[in-house]
Amino acid sequence: MGGFWHGIAMRLYRAGISLTAACGHAKARRWLAMREGRLEALGVATSRLKPGQQWMWFHCASVGEYEQARPVMEAWRSLHPGDAFLLSFYSASGWDAFARRQPEWLTAADHITAMPLDVRSSMRSFVQAAGGAERLRGLLFAKYDVWPTLIAELTRARVPVGLFAGHVLPGRWPFRWGGSYQRQAWKAMRCVWVQTEVSLTTLSAYGVNAQVAGDPRFDRVLDAVGQHLLDQALQSWVNDRPCIVVGSAWQPEWDAARSAWHEGQCAIVVPHEWTAESIAAEASLWEAMGARPVVWSAHRSDDARAELPEGDVLIVDVTGELLDAYAVADVVVVGGGFDKGVHNTLEPAAHGKRILVGPNVERFAEVGALETTGALSVCDSPYGLCEAIQMAFRDVEATRHTGLRAAEYANQHAGAGIAIAQGWSNAL
């Protein structure tokens, strides 16, 4: 019965997406567009595999899950170089992020595709296009994007399924009333690795066997920070001033940073979303505060590391620059905590920075752990965030010293990628 209602819900969801797209919604249109012709393309890619070569399938809902999957995929490639990767995304944002920066280990045999909706006919066709049990070595889900109808289809085909970097909380779907069909899918998986003991306890209460392996994103960010080359021109722009970086900023973080600014300090703000109009409006608000705004694209459109003019706030209206920005920060505000959920806190942690976030953090295990070290503070309101920024600047040396605890925490949790890949290899 649960499968029947799940199928109905999936079809209604698809109808809603189609209606929204017909009304002109850009994200809905992109969601549909990324699925056009994908089944045929997968069939062609499968037919081009070498004799005996198999897919190792990884599924990632979006960008964050892909960042978790990368260290596992890299480790798997070193253990099993003959396998081809089948990488599927659910959201267009994950797909687009991958397209912008493809990893160096990607080969011509690997294939990137979109996950269809979880209805039996679509999943059966997808598994067939991927070659079924003959070509599918296994499927690993990242975090919690579990598709029960797909798992049932793969179980019938005797294709192993697992999940890594799981993070589940008591009372959250499907670990509550009404989620039995989805919970059966969790039980059917051969291996489940979770990030924390809290997730382990929640799963055990529902009869799901799991083990703690940590979060592979630590490997990803530590590797990125280890290979990072400091942007000398950006460091010169900061010029030894106390510096706040606001990453993935929404309006509450913008407002708090602006209210907390004082002459002699500098700010680097990287908005989560922006338009030319919103950037110009924000620059005007900073000017009204007596600050000199500098817009990144106005000076670095041709040279990504060109000199920057003097100013008090640098508004970064391009993607891919957060790692450079975090490197020169004294204190970091990570956005999203006053909206649907805080964004990535591990990048500034790996840099060893003092971190401030909004209150919507319960879905993120690393936030609570970083808060325990003292390197991260959760602020209940934009006003509280403003006060926390000002307090961090009252003693910059103490703020820098506190941030080092974040780097210690990140380094202590490295190694999940190879551990998961080796565990999955043993399970197969």
Mean pLDDT along residues 79-107: 89
Q: How far apart are CA 248 and CA 254, in angstroms?
A: 10
Task: Extract long-range pairs of 405-408: CB within 8 Å, 24+ residues apart.
Answer: 405/373, 405/374, 405/375, 406/348, 406/349, 406/350, 406/351, 406/352, 406/353, 406/354, 406/355, 406/370, 406/373, 406/375, 406/376, 407/349, 407/350, 407/351, 407/352, 408/373
pLDDT at residue 303, as a whole number: 75
Same domain, 242 and 391: yes
pLDDT value of residue 31: 86
86 shares a domain with 60:
yes
- Cβ neighbours of residue 127 under 8 Å, at least 6 residues apart? 136, 150, 153, 154, 157, 159
Q: What is the mean pLDDT of the chain?
A: 92
pLDDT digits 0-9 by tens, 30-65? 888 889 999 999 999 999 999 999 999 999 998 889
Q: What is the pLDDT of residue 1?
A: 59
Joined tokens for residue 245: 């970086």
Neighbours of 281 (CB within 10 A): 10
Q: Which residues contact 209 (CB under 8 A, 6 or more apart)?
A: 187, 192, 203
Give the H or E element holding residue 345.
Answer: none
Are 332 and 355 in contact by the 8 Å Cβ rule? The answer is yes
**How many other β-carbons are positioned within 10 Å of the β-carbon of residue 317?**
18
Residue bearing the bigger pLDDT, 260 or 18: 260
Q: Is residue 246 part of a domain?
A: yes
Residue 288, in any domain of the structure: yes
pLDDT for position 171:
81
Residues 266, 240: contact at Cβ < 8 Å?
no
The proportion of the chain whose per-residue pLDDT surpasses 70, expressed as a percent, equals 100
pTM of structure: 0.84
Q: Is the pLDDT of residue 178 over 80?
A: no
Q: Which two tokens stand for residue 323?
A: 């790692």
Closest CA to 354 of 380, 385, 315: 385
In this structure, is residue 22 part of a structural domain? no
Residues 372 and 257 in one domain: yes
The answer to whether residue 23 sits within a structural domain is no
199 and 329 co-located in one domain: no
When divided into structural domains, the chain yields a total of 2
Residue 18 lies in a domain: no
Structural domain harbouring 333: 224-412
Q: Give the C-alpha separation, 77 to 54, whole Å.
A: 13
Residue 264 buriedness (CB in 10 A; 0-12 / 13-18 / 19+)? exposed
Residues 262, 392, single domain; the answer is yes
**Is residue 381 domain-shared with residue 421, that is, in the same domain?**
no
Q: In whole angstroms, how far apart are CA 322 and each of 117, 173, 268, 315?
A: 33, 32, 10, 12
Average pLDDT over residues 106-124: 93
Looking at the structure, do residues 391 and 317 belong to the same domain, yes or no?
A: yes
- Dihedral angle over CA of 216, 334, 377, 267, nearest 10: 130
288, 358: one domain: yes
Residue 112's nearest CA partner among 165, 52, 60 is 60
Q: Which of 7-11, 74-78, 192-196 has the lowest mean pLDDT?
A: 7-11
- Smallest Cα–Cα separation from 176: which of 145, 205, 211? 205
Calpha distance 323→239 (Å, rounded): 18
Amino acid at 295: V
Q: Highest mean pLDDT range out of 43-57, 94-108, 270-284?
A: 43-57
Verify cis geometry, omega within 30 degrees of 0, for the bond prior to 174.
Answer: yes
Let me know: does 353 contact 369? Beta carbons within 8 Å: no
> How many angstroms separate the CA atoms of 422 and 79, rounded?
8
**Rounded Cα distance, 144 and 102, in Å:** 23
In a domain, 9, yes or no: no
CATH number of the domain that residue 421 is part of: 3.40.50.11720
Q: How confident is the model at residue 140 (pLDDT cuts 50, 70, 90)?
A: very high
Do 253 and 182 belong together in one domain?
A: no
In CATH, what number is assigned to the domain containing residue 317?
3.40.50.2000
And the tokens for 226? 């280890």
Does residue 20 lie within any of the structural domains?
Answer: no
Is the alpha carbon torsion for 370, 371, 374, 380 positive or negative?
positive
Is the residue at 150 inside a domain?
Answer: yes
pLDDT at 251: 94
User: Among all chains, which residue has been given the structure tokens 């890949």?
Assistant: 421
- As a whole number of angstroms, the longest Cα–Cα distance in the chain is 68
The residue written with tokens 């965030």 in the block is: 385
Nearest to 389 by CA among 158, 174, 381: 381
Which ranges of 250-395 would DSSP assign to H, the alpha helix?
251-260, 276-288, 296-300, 322-327, 346-350, 365-373, 382-394
Q: Are residues 386 and 290 both part of a single domain?
A: yes
Each residue of 413-427: pLDDT tens digit? 999 999 999 999 999
Residue 66 sits in the same domain as residue 174: yes
Q: Are residues 93 and 104 in the same domain?
A: yes
What is the rounded average pLDDT of the residues 153-181? Answer: 89
